[in-house]
Chain A
Amino acid sequence: MAEHASIPLTIEFTGGLELLFSNQRKHQVELPSSNRSPNVADLITYLCDKLMKDPRKDMFVLDGTVRPGILVLINDADWELEGQETYQLQPRDEIVFVSTLHGG
């Protein structure tokens, strides 16, 4: 549980999502944690509000959740195995967002 003021995380965007984040695939993020442990939902909010330079929020988030077609990996495992948005982030976790929404 986070006793840090913020949690250091490595975030990666692939599959075209990097275009929304200054064309940068990897980002080192310090997620502010206030007084409780932030979870992935908090992370996503933070990414949308603070990190996303592109105005097209709905390419990433839709109806309060990650857009269908975007896969989320927490430490290289499917986030559905870790509790999806409720997973509580640990320092130095690696979160990867992979979009599948493009031609093959």
Chain B
Amino acid sequence: MNPTDSDDDRPAAAAAADSAAPQQPLEWRFAQVFGERAAGEDVQEVDIISAIEFDKSGDHLATGDRGGRVVLFERTDARDHANRSELERQDVPITRHPEFRYKTEFQSHEPEFDYLKSLEIEEKINKIKWCQSANNALFLLSTNDKTIKYWKVQEKKIKQVSVMTLDTSTVGNGATSRASTSTSVPLPNGGCSEKSDGLNGDLLFPPGGYPSLRLPVVTTSQDVNLAARCRRVYAHAHDYHINSISNNSDGETFISADDLRINLWNLEINSQSFNIVDVKPTNMEDLTEVITCAEFHPTHCNTLAYSSSKGSIRLIDLRQSALCDNHSKIFEEHEAPGARSFFTEIIASISDVKFSRDGRYLLSRDYMTLKLWDLNMDSGPVSTFQVHEHLRPRLCDLYENDSIFDKFECCLSGDGRHVATGSYGNMFRVFGSTTGSTDVTTLEASRNPMRRQMSNPNRPTRGTMTSMARGVRRGGENLGVDANGNSLDFSTKLLHLAWHPTENSIACAAANSLYMYYA
């Protein structure tokens, strides 16, 4: 695809709904890979990526892994913002695609043991969310099953104390020698011996002070040191496993959701949180539905959506009540009667839900499909994209090996014109989401993303256009499967992926490797 046709800088408001003009399908190219696996190399369990997230500007990318680490990447090609926007204004083709480099990494969570409940708490990072940056420092939230942490990552110039008033020989030895000196002389370490040190308030100083006293001289070297510091820990608020966290647009609160509850936190207060949704039945045997994912609306601070294991998405309005047991809207699609089977409920479970950048649409992923919902239309999805329809005959096998419970994430492009989600065999699919679009691409997370597609051209099928309300069904039935449909590798699954907020660039995780593509 010719980069001049890139529509990535169109305002997000011009999203899916109104664009009748046919658009060129995106042509995806490999951009970068981090942590590529050499042939025959075994993947260490702890290295498997478990979360990917771009920040708001798209200049930073964070990944979390099962070993509890968070790795940060920064964009190298667009550091000069003014320059970039100028280029865009002049309509000069952007010849470069987003290019990232490793920035830093830190250990966010450690394995723990809950002695009260005799439960091991894994260090695996379930979700990462970026927060508002300030003073040139980056802030992000990371969570494992139980504990959310607020991190600050900042470049610090290394400073060294070069001159002290006292004998320099002690300076080199650092604090230990200083501490020992100060214990031999009764010094106010901690201020407990104030009376005995001759420094009490009655001591008279000459008006000009003592000229022999000097302040330490600090020299700042050019070396910078990237340091990640945990600013706050939000713990002990979830009885079940945390499946999502999401920042509010008010910049001061966020939510965390587990299977049965959603809690609201203030970023600055880690000692208490407010329970805003509680679906726990009085008798746990009556439990039929759990929360699978929750996200705040990108601009309306009072609106949030959460999805359930029964395939519904509920929109709640925090203004209505302190405990939001009643949803203000519910989005669900009723299965055609008669089509029910043992698997109906399992495959209906929503594994991920995302708002579009403008907040008008919601994208949800269940086991078989991606669905795009218009917040103004709760009768059914605007579009349904078939992702795993070809697996329907094999649901029994998938159930046997637990693959049917895999939680695939989904994402929308910044302009809302495309949606993407992962699949098996390290494949992911990108769909055009505008009305009438037939753009479907299947890519493999490898250096040659189109490899599979070349050998197996995808013929998207047009859905019936008779009823808008029923939405549009499309998408091939033969994703990445050989003619006999046997080549699927259920162990290589692409669960996590993220779309760059402003450009057509996707980051996705294949086991321990991070692949990036652009169009």
A binds B: no
A residues adjacent to B (C-beta < 8 A) = none
- Residue numbers of B with Cβ under 8 A of A are none
